[in-house]
Structure 1
Amino acid sequence: MRVLVPVKRVIDYNVKVRVKPDGSGPDLANVKMSMNPFDEIAMEEAIRLKEKGMAQEVIAVSIGVRQAQETLRTALAMGADRAILIIAAESAATDIEPLAVAKLLKGVIEAEKIDLVIAGKQAIDNDMNATGQMLAALLGWPQATFASKVEIADGRAEVTREVDGGLQTISVALPAIITTDLRLNEPRYASLPNIMKAKKKPLEEKTATDYGVDIAPRLEIMRTREPEGRKGGIKVDTVDALVEKLKNEAGVL
């Protein structure tokens, strides 16, 4: 079984994001970038499948700027066998839309004859939560999203999903798309020897043209702004006053 794991280069989750003064987008100058946390979880799950002997090869793929090589090297240091970088943007401020990403991933899957895709459920920069679902639709494959537990056996994946009402367990036939939730696993840290080994692992560069995909944006960002600061609360003297404010001012009753 060959497993594909898409990984995205995003602003590190520990960094407080600032918006440019002109409102054109987030300020990325001198900002630490790292692998999307949900993608780290997906990579960890793929590596565990390989360690169990269920996967023969784990391939990491990233779509974006050339600097995403760093993210792919991290994936290789974690345990991926090889990596593919699809250069689709000149600037880190350019975000490739989910449909274009799904089409490019479809091209990679068909070229590499992939049996299973494990992806993060969403990227923390745009929170789209759409690529996995779109990819499943394009391929006609079954999908299991928000996975908190994955078991592979007899050509099927049994996936426990986190849903609003609790947990749901489904079984899907392979090949399939699985997107990971936070509680699926705890990603490993790349050791220094593995970081050194990752430098020698193959990393292939491609472009969107190689897969015949139009990545022109369909959306236009009009303005980006920071959320308003939290306003101070008030104290009330009686329960009746509290109920009145909840009903007439807050509108929650």
Structure 2
Amino acid sequence: MSLRIVVCAKYVPDAIGDRHFTEDLTVDRDDVDGLLSELDEYAVEQALRIKETADAEITVVTVGPEDAGEALRKALSMGADKAIHVADDDLRGTDVMGTSLVLAKAVEKAGYDLVICGMASTDGTMGVLPALLAERLGVAQATLLSEMSVEGGVVNGRRDGDAASERLRASLPAVVSVTDQSGEARYPSFKGIMAAKKKPVTSWDLSDLDIGAEAVGLEGAWTTVASAAECPARPVGTVVKDEGEGSKHLAAFLAERTFV
């Protein structure tokens, strides 16, 4: 039987885009382009590396609006086998607690042996979803791995800290998260991009997962954004004209700000 790997992928606003909030202090996703969270690309990469050495099937799952399908297509073009998109109007404003509930239900319904997540999303950057997901599934967790492998029904990994590294082992089924040091994510090939168009993408809503609307969205959120403000405009920089003494002006500028 093939090893069933599920990768959790998040569709996030482009970090270099001009992002804004709506009146209810949720991100205005219609006002900025989105993409697959860069840190989740490392999770897809690790799943693909396992598949290169073992009989495995990779399913990518995302929770988000219609546009979140773009994150799935990126993962499929990298080499994942199929995808699941959980989309529902009542999901708008869902926090990490609600998202972990939806993902747990989706992962259980899809069937799994190993769930791989990125270390954090590039928008919320909380980094707690893998632990919450493992708790909801009732399985072992091995998080923040910079190296991982699977053999004989056991996942092995290395977690690097500031002063030391740890070796971790967990019996499957399990949830792991990998860092951006786990291995550079591959670029989709033209062949992979074309093949992704034919790969199956299943769509589920809350009713398919037996989740009530009151458990998700702004109503079911455990956290609240109290206020938000625009970033201050960047001040105009100092222009130094070089008329023979530009280096002196530059040195004085740096010395004034204690850079030298």
Q: Name the structure 2 match of 1:111.
A: 109
Q: Name the structure 2 match of 1:48.
A: 49
Partners of 1:23 and 1:223 within 8 A in 2: no
Instruction: Return the alpha-carbon distance in structure 2 between the equivalents of residues 101 and 206 of structure 1.
Output: 14
Q: Name the structure 1 match of 2:60.
A: 60
Q: Name the structure 2 match of 1:76.
A: 76
| 5+ residue gaps, structure 2 | 236-252
Which residue identity lines up with residue 220 of structure 1 in the other structure? Answer: T
Q: Equivalent residues in 2 for 1:26-37 (5 A)?
A: 26=27, 28-37=29-38
The superposition leaves residues 172-214 of structure 1 with CA deviations (integer Å, 9 ceiling, x where unpaired) of: 1111111011100111111122111111110010012211222
**Alignment partner for residue 97 of structure 2, among 96, 99, 102?**
99
- TM-score of the two chains, using structure 2 as the length reference: 0.80
1:34 is displaced (CA, Å) by 0.7
Q: Name the structure 1 match of 2:244.
A: none
Alignment CA distance shift 1:65-1:178 (3 Å) = same
1:219 aligns with 2:223: yes
| 5+ residue gaps, structure 1 | 238-253
Q: Which runs of 4+ in 1 moved over 2 A?
A: 16-32, 88-91, 162-166, 216-220, 225-237
Instruction: Return the alpha-carbon distance in structure 1 between the equivalents of residues 108 and 24 of structure 2.
Output: 40
Instruction: Return the alpha-carbon distance in structure 1 between the equivalents of residues 100 and 13 of structure 2.
Output: 21
Alignment CA distance shift 1:17-1:165 (3 Å) = farther
Alignment CA distance shift 1:166-1:65 (3 Å) = same
1:112 is displaced (CA, Å) by 2.3
Which residue identity lines up with residue 48 of structure 1 in the other structure? Answer: R
Partners of 1:64 and 1:89 within 8 A in 2: no
**Alignment partner for residue 5 of structure 1, among 4, 7, 15?**
7
Which residue identity lines up with residue 52 of structure 2 in the other structure? Answer: E
Alignment CA distance shift 1:50-1:228 (3 Å) = same
Alignment CA distance shift 1:23-1:175 (3 Å) = closer
Instruction: Return the alpha-carbon distance in structure 2 between the equivalents of residues 236 and 68 of structure 1.
Output: 45
Q: Name the structure 2 match of 1:201.
A: 199
Aligned residues: 233
1:66 is displaced (CA, Å) by 1.2
Percent pairwise identity: 29
Instruction: Return the alpha-carbon distance in structure 2 between the equivalents of residues 18 and 233 of structure 1.
Output: 33
Instruction: Return the alpha-carbon distance in structure 2 between the equivalents of residues 29 and 103 of structure 1.
Output: 25
Which residue identity lines up with residue 69 of structure 1 in the other structure? Answer: G
Identify which range, 228-237 or 119-128, moves more after superposition: 228-237
**Alignment partner for residue 182 of structure 1, among 180, 183, 186?**
180
- TM-score of the two chains, using structure 1 as the length reference: 0.82
Alignment CA distance shift 1:22-1:234 (3 Å) = farther
1:108 is displaced (CA, Å) by 2.1
**Alignment partner for residue 119 of structure 2, among 104, 118, 121?**
121
Partners of 2:48 and 2:80 within 8 A in 1: yes
**Alignment partner for residue 134 of structure 2, among 131, 136, 143?**
136
Alignment CA distance shift 1:229-1:170 (3 Å) = farther
Which residue identity lines up with residue 84 of structure 1 in the other structure? Answer: I
Instruction: Return the alpha-carbon distance in structure 2 between the equivalents of residues 44 and 116 of structure 1.
Output: 14
Q: Name the structure 1 match of 2:147.
A: 149
Superposition RMSD in Å: 2.7
1:16 is displaced (CA, Å) by 4.4
The superposition leaves residues 128-182 of structure 1 with CA deviations (integer Å, 9 ceiling, x where unpaired) of: 2111101111122111111100021121111101224332111111111110111
The superposition leaves residues 199-231 of structure 1 with CA deviations (integer Å, 9 ceiling, x where unpaired) of: 111001001221122213232222223556899
